[in-house]
Structure 1
Amino acid sequence: MSDRGQALVHDVPLDVAQQHDPYPLFERIRKHGAIQRVRLNPTLEVWMITGYDEAVSALTDPKLSSSPVRVDGLTEEMDHQERTNVLMASMLVADGENHTRLRNLVSRAFTSRRVEMLAPRIQEHTDAFLDAIALRGTADLVSEFALPLPMAVLSELIGIPVDDQPDFAKLAVGLIMPPNTPERLAKGARARAELTTFFEPLIAQRKAEPRDDLLSALCAAQAEERISDRELTAMAILLTLAGHETTAGLIANGIHALLRNPDQFTALRDDPALLPAAVEELLRYEGPVSRGVARFTVEPFDIAGVSIPAGQMIIIGLAAANRDPARFDRPDILDIARREVPQQLAFGHGVHFCLGAPLARAEARIAIGTLLRRFPDLKLAAPDETLTRREGILRGMASLPVTFTPQS
């Protein structure tokens, strides 16, 4: 490794997802090399990948583990997590045959046909939420649209009874895992405990009385895929949390980006055929995963001329890679008509590629397309610099106040 890479350690704050514009920080780090040492807190230094090609390489390399190993500065907290965090039994942190076994369970139940059948219901839910705000001419598109829409869709898909739904918007902090502040980790642990209490009896009910929903399909496939009850509960929680918060972030971030770029808003409003490409560009430009995904070295690992010892954490910066100027022309410019560009990495890459990507894309296309069609003069109702982001490891808007011409 070069002396330049060894000499510098860059500070990447834990709240980078809440920053108004974290991308200049990623670019400053990348200028020193695509793989750098970064400091997440006073006691924890890790590696961060900001280059696109290097990110793809790391995401597809089987020598990197998704399961936390003993990393200096994380050992005590990870010991506690392994004992208490139900998500440690999910495919989020699984490798090799174990990951394949868990992923097969979802793949068998979460079919493309099931997603395709949801499209009319996504449209119906979208219309209903927009009907509720149409007369007013003002709305918060986070609390009144971007958050409840994917929750309504997931409730039907997974089989969460409407009357029994907890407030999943708040419980989304259950995804918080180390490294993070003690306060956030405790809040995430409480959320996961509530979700476990919610799902365990619901799973037992679906085993006894199957229905036409994803949870029943997961229960039916459980024995064949050798899935434990804890793993099944972890799967239900992961699908709900990840499928809700990431899609809500995609929709809200996408609308926000379009409103900040009126030329792109107008182009998409006037030509709905651009919607599929626009969703890909919005994922690249302002996806919901900002800091990145973690991988761990179980043995010495060499990448792009950099040697990383065993027992180290690597953060693969998906948002940073999506703005790598070596792979994207004018990466900081939103351009929904981009042509012949590399695949954006917002959903990851390789064996851990997001299983819910087709559903998220469908929801975003329908939600954003319908919104622009129904409210063609949509505008921000507050200065952009006053808008804040949601708490957590994912990047999403806390609120998105807008105005438009009221409609009957």
Structure 2
Amino acid sequence: MPLADPAHPLAAVTHAAPYAYYRRLAEGPPLRFDAQLDCWLATGMAGVRAVLEHPDCRVRPVSQPVPDTLAGTPCGAIFMELVRMNDGERHAVPKQVLAQALGQVDLARLQAQTLQMASDHVPASAAQLNDALFQLPLFAMADLLGFAPAQWPALAARTRDFVACLSPLSNVAQLAGAQEAADALLQGFSRLLREVDALPGSLLAAIVTEAEAPGWHAAGSLLANLVGLLSQTCEATAGMLGNAIVALRTQPALHAQMRAAPQSWPAILREVSRHDPAIHNTRRYTAEDVDIDGVRVAAGQMIVVVLASACHDAGAHAEPDVLQRPGSPMLATPGFGHGRHGCPGQSIAHAIAAACMQAWADGLEGLPLAWTYRPSLNARIPIFSQGARS
């Protein structure tokens, strides 16, 4: 029996098979008001790009730059500095510095190092796999920044605790744990910055060098955005990995193709990110009255930008519900954001995920796995359990 459609786009994030629903959303008007959610929806490639590119559609409400739950806390102080969470001139230079430094990363070297790391940590159970989805990408990013291997497990654990503060579903205990994690992460990066001269070739050294020319000397802003590099790696890469494993399980022929051509992992991960992105939606807030595709939206309105509907837009992708073969033509999709807040670390995430999948795919083949999805309004991350998928 076919599954019922999700009740709305926020419920679609954890729905077992929301893809036909997203395709139908993309067929509708690019911008519409949803009475059930009491907000606007931007859907399809045209609607998503129009909102993400509009200068008056901001990543935070003008009157609330920091969520109420974080105001006056260490997490809130970090949030105020994150270039991915803020608009405006004050964040322009840090954004440019980070993009330039991330663009210098040797992706081939990163993928080779991560392949070795992942080969030493092949999950042997569903529980180990659930941990590895988060740990290995964070280990790879910590290594890239210059942290010693002995520091990686604590950094990964603290980053996962910190990320909890970014979810509106977090409870009081998770928010308290996030504050402790924020303090620990800031202290860890402060110590690493003092050692940066001894870390030539690291991503941290590249960021510090790039920051010198435009005079980005605000220590608090730099530290916050270093924490941001880890937090952005956390759920997005875990979701990409988990959804790639789901793709292998639901399309058995794909495994044989990848075994025959492991160099195709980066290409197939780009397609997994199109078909089942780690982040299914994001939000924008109108700073002024705006006109989008002939629709007037008043200032102060929230727009849920349904990224996954753009990824399943039949006008932009041939057979959008089908995971294409490696090497098939693929259009750019907004699964990693688009416009001013497009993720500059997308290539890094793909390199890390490709290495992990290459290292793990054969070892996971005989492991019986079932899955559901972590509770979330935005991120699609499988939770695996032992057992065959029904």
Please say whether Structure 1 and Structure 2 have the same fold, judged by a TM-score greater than 0.5.
Answer: yes
Residue 12 (1) aligns with residue 8 (2): yes
The aligned runs of 1:330-349 (5 Å cut-off) are: 330-337=319-326, 339-349=328-338
Query: Residue type of the partner of 1:87?
Result: F
For structure 1, which segment, 323-332 or 265-274, has the greater mean C-alpha deviation from structure 2 after superposition? 265-274
Matched, 1:395 2:387: no
**Equivalent in 200, 212, 223 of residue 186 of structure 2:** 200
1:228 counterpart residue number: 218
CA RMSD of aligned residues (A): 3.2
- Which residue matches 1:356? 345
How big is the shift at 1:260?
0.6
Helix, strand or coil at the partner of 2:322: coil
SS in 2 for 1:226: coil
Distance 1:185 1:337 in 2: 41
CA shift for structure 1 position 51? 0.7
CA contact (8 A) 2:32 2:40 kept: yes
> When the two structures are aligned, how many residues end up with a matched partner?
374
My pick for the range that moved more, 12-21 or 304-313, is 12-21
- The answer for the alignment partner of 2:3 in structure 1 is none
Residue by residue, what CA displacement relative to the aligned partner does 1:8-60 show, whole Å, maximum 9, x if unpaired?
xx95375543332333443454454232223676xxx2212121122123222
State how far apart, in whole Å, the 2-side matches of 1:162 and 1:337 are: 34
Displacement after TM superposition at 1:82 (Å): 4.8
Task: Tell me the equivalent position of 2:160.
Answer: 172
Deviations 1:184-241 (A, max 9, x none): 1645533441232112322332343323233455456556543533322321221111
- Structure 2's unaligned 5+ residue stretches are 1-5
Choose from 183, 190, 196 the match for 2:176.
190
From 56, 69, 73, the equivalent of 1:63 is 56
Find the partner of 2:89 among 69, 90, 97.
Answer: 97
Instruction: Give the aligned partner of residue 290 of structure 2.
Output: 301
Superposed, which structure 2 residues align to 1:256-275 within 5 Å? 256-275=246-265
Structure 1 unaligned runs (5+)?
1-9, 404-408
Q: TM-score, normalised by structure 2?
A: 0.83
Q: Is the partner of 2:224 in helix, strand or coil?
A: helix
TM-score, length-scaled by structure 1: 0.80
Matches within 5 A, 1:251-330: 251-290=241-280, 292-330=281-319
How far does the alpha carbon of each residue in 1:132-181 deviate from its partner, in whole angstroms, 9 at most, with x for none? 74xxxx55563353222112212212234444443735753644568834
Identify if the C-alpha distance between structure 1 residues 221 and 204 changes in structure 2 by more than 3 Å, giving closer, same or farther.
Answer: farther
CA separation in 2, counterparts of 1:105 and 1:270? 40
Match of 1:153 in 2: 140
Give me the whole-angstrom Cα distance separating, in 2, the residues matched to 1:267 and 1:114: 27
Tell me, in whole angstroms, the C-alpha distance in 2 between the residues paired with 1:163 and 1:396: 27
More off after superposition, 209-218 vs 250-259: 209-218
Please give the secondary structure, in 1, of the residue aligned with 2:350. helix
Distance in 1 (alpha carbons) for counterparts of 2:193 and 2:260: 49
Give me the whole-angstrom Cα distance separating, in 2, the residues matched to 1:228 and 1:345. 31
Contact 2:145 2:203 (8 Å CA) reproduced = yes
Alignment-mate amino acid for residue 248 of structure 2: L
Alpha carbons of structure 1 residues 355 and 283: separation in structure 2 relative to 1, 3 Å: same
Amino acid at match of 1:199: L
Q: 1:278 to 1:202 in 2, by over 3 A?
A: same
Q: Is 2:218 the counterpart of 1:241?
A: no
Question: Once structures 1 and 2 are overlaid, which stretch shifts more, 117-126 or 96-105?
Answer: 96-105
Greater shift, 315-324 or 109-118, is seen at 109-118
Tell me if structure 2 keeps the 8 A contact 1:140–1:402. Answer: no
Q: Secondary structure at the match of 1:327?
A: coil
Name the CA shift for 1:145/1:326 in 2 (closer, same or farther; >3 Å): same
Q: CA deviation at 1:96?
A: 4.2
The aligned residue for residue 22 of structure 2 is 26
Q: Which amino acid aligns with 2:60?
A: S
CA distance in 1, matches of 2:264, 2:101: 31
Bigger drift between 324-333 and 219-228 goes to 219-228
Deviation at 1:279, TM superposition (A): 1.4
AA of the residue aligned to 2:228: L
Q: Give the letter aligned to residue 397 of structure 1.
A: P
